[in-house]
Amino acid sequence: MFKILEKRLLAENIYLLQIEAPRVAQSALPGQFVIVRVDEQGERVPLTIADFDKQKGSVTIVIQAIGVSTRKLCTLNEGDYIADFVGPLGNPSEFVHMPLEELQKRHYLFVAGGVGTAPVYPQVKWLHEHGVKADVIIGAKTASMLIYTEEMERVADNLYIATDDGSKGFKGMVTAKIKELYDVEGKSYDECVAIGPMIMMKFVTLTTKEYNLQTTVSLNALMVDGTGMCGACRVSVGGKILFTCVDGPEFDGHQVDFDEAMRRQAMYRSQESEASHKHEHKCNCF
């Protein structure tokens, strides 16, 4: 059993949970994920690590309450326990293995959308701690849906906010902000890392291709089992079939077949809808 040390509402239906998990925290690296199971009857939920504290022995995850399992997780409070918290799983971000002398010459651009902002944070934090430059664009539909802005401001060299409605920061999509950074401000980067909704990552890669900018994306949203056994997270990268959970979750964005990935992501919507309906009906019976 794993104790919830902290619970915090970040935005509507988006919660931060800090979990006591010393072994996971000790081995965790940016880019990796965990498998969470709320109780013995719960399904396995893959969640990207949003932060970790080796000394405290804690791991932070950010959850959007959209399905039966995630909504159940979000009803738990500080002091409650979850049944399983397995990890770290997946491959860490490639930059953690680069020689520090080489890495410190690079300048990264991170593009975060929605809940994807949470897994961007430990990557930017790690680079900041190792003296590597990183600018960050956080995008959301409106200001009330922005998360991790204060935390990101402490570790990013430059933080840019982009909202669709202009309620905070730049008015427009993150792709338009990328263009502004290059075309107006004269910025240039060695690599872009984009994490967020699949459609956002697709258009970020189309934009960065115009600038010949190497781009890494995280396909964590495709994962189901998280161990490579179910095959549900198959993705085409450079014409090859790979598994998001064991070969990723990060890939070369310019090589990913996003249209196929989005079709795969939609495969289980009917089952999710049916499960939600049954759960709501059960709750209304009490």
Both tokens of 205, joined, read 């890669």
Among 55, 89, 123, give the residue marking a domain's end.
89
CA angle 156, 159, 161 (to 5 degrees): 150
120 plus 180 within the same structural domain? yes
CB 83 within 8 A of CB 76: no
Q: Which of 216, 199, 259 is nearest to 235 (CA)?
A: 259
Q: What is the reported pTM?
A: 0.86
168 plus 270 within the same structural domain? no
Among 30, 58, 89, give the residue marking a domain's end.
89
Give every strand in the sheet of 81-82, ordered side by side. 81-82, 2-11, 14-20, 58-64, 45-53, 33-37, 84-89
pLDDT over 70 at 224, yes or no: no
DSSP 266: T
80 plus 122 within the same structural domain? no
- Strand partners for 48: 33
Question: pLDDT for 128-182, tens place per residue?
Answer: 999 999 999 999 999 999 999 999 999 999 999 999 999 999 999 999 999 999 9
80 plus 111 within the same structural domain? no
Average pLDDT over residues 23-46: 89
Question: pLDDT for 85-106, tens place per residue?
Answer: 988 998 999 999 999 999 999 9
pLDDT bracket for residue 265 (50, 70, 90): low
Both tokens of 84, joined, read 């399983």
For residue 125, give the CATH number of its domain. Answer: 3.40.50.80
Number of domains in the chain: 3
80 plus 125 within the same structural domain? no
202 plus 188 within the same structural domain? yes
Residue with tokens 């020689």: 99
Among 211, 243, 269, give the residue marking a domain's end.
211
* pLDDT score for 137: 97
193 plus 104 within the same structural domain? yes
The whole domain housing 258 covers 219-286
